[in-house]
């Protein structure tokens, strides 16, 4: 799951991933850039959906399961990013 490692290594870019499926509303992005970002993230999820269909799931089931897999991967990333942010804040305050 390449998107997981990308967002793990680039936590500042994770918010952009929330625009997939128009779940969050982009702020500061042009419609063209928003569309490109959605398409790029969709490309990383297509192999999961394709595999689920090959395993016998319907298209609708595969979409739901792919979305769930993405959601389960994002949860730990959110926690990691929150912990990273708190660590940076603690480091800042302890260095004063």
Q: Take residue 21 and report the two structure tokens written for it.
A: 């499926």
Rounded CA separation 66/46 (Å): 8
The count of domains in the chain is 1
Rounded CA separation 15/31 (Å): 16
Tell me the pTM. Answer: 0.59
Residue 15's domain comprises 2-94
User: Could you read off the pLDDT of 17-75 as tens digits, one per residue?
Assistant: 555 545 556 566 788 887 887 788 889 899 999 999 999 999 999 999 999 998 888 88
CA 35 to chain centre: 15
For position 21, what pLDDT does the model report?
Answer: 47
């Amino acid at each position: 799951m390449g998107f997981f490692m990308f967002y793990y290594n680039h936590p500042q870019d994770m918010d952009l991933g929330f625009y997939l499926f128009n779940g969050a509303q982009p702020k500061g992005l042009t419609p063209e850039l928003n569309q490109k970002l959605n398409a790029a993230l969709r490309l990383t999820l297509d192999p999961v959906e394709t595999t689920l269909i090959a395993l016998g799931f319907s298209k609708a089931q595969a979409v739901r399961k792919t979305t769930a897999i993405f959601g389960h991967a994002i949860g730990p990333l959110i926690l990691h990013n929150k912990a990273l942010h708190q660590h940076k804040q603690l480091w800042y305050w302890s260095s004063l």
